[in-house]
Amino acid sequence: PEQIVVSDLAQRMAVKAREVTKLLMKMGEIVAADEAIDQATASLIVEEMGHNPVPVSDTKVEDDLQEAVEERSSNVQTRPPVVTIMGHVDHGKTSLLDKIRETKVAPGEAGGITQHIGAYHVKTERGVITFLDTPGHAAFTAMRSRGAQATDIVILVVAADDGMMPQTEEAIDHARASGTPIIVAINKMDKSTADPDRVLNELTTKEVVTEEWGGDVPLAKISAKTGEGIDELLELVNLQAELMELEAPTEGAAQGVVIESRLEKGRGAVASVLVKKGTLNQGDLVLAGEFYGKVRAMTDETGQRVKSAGPSIPVEILGLPDTPAAGSEFLVVSDEKKAREVAEFRANREREQLLERQNKMRLESMFEQM
Ligand code: GTP
Ligand code: MG
């Protein structure tokens, strides 16, 4: 079978050969640096060594920070629901968002240059609803894998003339895995080929049983083209939100999640963030992922300057030195030293994880060449 000399393996992982032999010994194999081991063992070694358990003192850095933030937040109040629209390609997700925005964003607000910030909020009679329009399941998964659950409710859009498709099923799985309640929106009801009953029947095979069929999943039949049923859909969102009793402290240091970020000519790093707790203010020192900086300016989704943003409200912030990854948590810190400490710790961890992935890839390609 394929073999590799321990010292070569060590070199490729950028560690001392002695560390590898020591680990081998722990695994019950006494091997010298110039001896060879088989691929399975080598893979185990890489996995073990690549697996960098975070030292206790380092997690403490983050825990302390978290505690300090929690302590400072107060005045818990009802907050708007954050909604993500999911569904199969071409089933009308973007059209639905556009229609909602068109009918619910006041003309004056929409008149300006509408910025794409990956999220926006609309006012309905029953309250504000925030939509994440970072489309697609990839973004949803990225956020989830970072533990940054940003969505309260999923609207599952299914075209009445097409029915349940692979990405519909995927969306259902994502929502389930994260415990996010689903509201079904059967779209394209204006079409003569619309067959909502067929769709509802198909959905039951994924155990999505709508209220119409005796289940408990709310359902709206809509047309993103004509606007039919959209008010009812928003009403269902509000009802669901009330059931969930969504709350957050409105005062204190803000905490939230990065929706997306980019570098813009003349503005620098621009990060769209969604506040989850507390209030974010212009001038706050923000730690986002591995970067920190003072919020120089904030704008809402219509490009208007705002001075502060509370729970569930999305804003764009300027002032970070670089672009934090989508799904990174952000929080406001009072102490620049602490911010630097955590930022450095995170940057190191990122580097280590990158190195680990590179090592794995190098080892794999090495064996392919043999
Ligand atoms: P992806 O972003 O590619 O996944 O698609 P999407 O789900 O955002 O669909 P999109 O809103 O782009 O709509 C796809 C097509 O369906 C477009 O041609 C829309 O005009 C059309 N469409 C969307 N909603 C409706 C509707 O309610 N009725 C009719 N007749 N057409 C619709
Ligand atoms: Mg779209």
pLDDT values of the chain reduced to their tens digit, one per residue, 370 residues: 578 889 888 887 778 888 888 888 877 778 888 888 887 788 778 777 764 444 444 556 666 666 666 666 668 899 999 998 888 989 998 889 889 987 665 444 444 444 566 788 888 888 899 998 655 556 566 665 554 578 899 999 999 999 999 989 988 988 888 889 999 999 999 999 999 999 999 999 999 999 888 899 999 999 999 999 999 999 999 999 999 999 999 988 899 999 889 999 988 999 999 999 999 999 999 999 889 999 999 999 888 999 999 999 999 999 999 999 888 889 898 888 878 887 887 788 778 878 888 887 777 777 776 6
91 Cβ closer than 6 Å to some ligand 1 atom = yes
How many CA within 13 A on the CB side of residue 15? 21
Ligand 1 in contact with 88 (CB < 6 A)?
Answer: no
- Determine if ligand 1 sits within 6 Å of the CB of residue 190: yes
Residue 60 assigned as binding residue:
no
* Whether the CB of 93 sits within 6 Å of ligand 1: yes
Q: Which atom of ligand 1 is nearest to the CA of 157?
A: 7
Contact 326, 146 (CB under 8 A): no
* DSSP 8-class letter at 213: G
Q: Where are the beta strands (DSSP E) in 300-353?
A: 308-309, 314-318, 329-332
93 in a labelled binding site: yes
Q: Which helix (H) or strand (E) holds 94?
A: helix 93-104
- The ligand that comes nearest to the alpha carbon of residue 88 is 1
pLDDT at 347: 82
91 is in an annotated binding site: yes
Nearby residues of 133 by Cβ (< 8 Å), 6 or more positions away: 85, 94, 97, 118, 119, 120
CA 225, chain centre distance (Å): 29
Q: Which residues are CB-neighbours of 324 under 8 A, at least 6 positions away? A: 258, 261, 271, 288, 289, 290, 291, 330
- Residue 221, ligand 1, Cβ within 6 A: no
Contact partners, residue 277, CB within 8 Å, separation at least 6:
73, 248, 249, 252, 254, 255, 256, 311
What are 156's strand-pairing partners? 86, 184
81 is in an annotated binding site: no
Query: Residue 110's pLDDT is what?
Result: 45
Query: What are the structure tokens assigned to 24, written together?
Result: 């081998």
Between the CA of 283 and the centroid of ligand 1 the distance, in Å, is 41
> Tokens 């692979």 correspond to what residue?
166
Q: Which residues pair with 315 in a beta bridge?
A: 273
Ligand 1 neighbourhood includes 2 CB (under 6 angstroms): no
CA of 60 to the centre of ligand 1 (A): 48
Buried b (16+ CB within 10 A) or exposed e, 194-215: bebeebbebbeeeebbbeeeeb
Q: Is the ipTM of this complex over 0.95?
A: yes
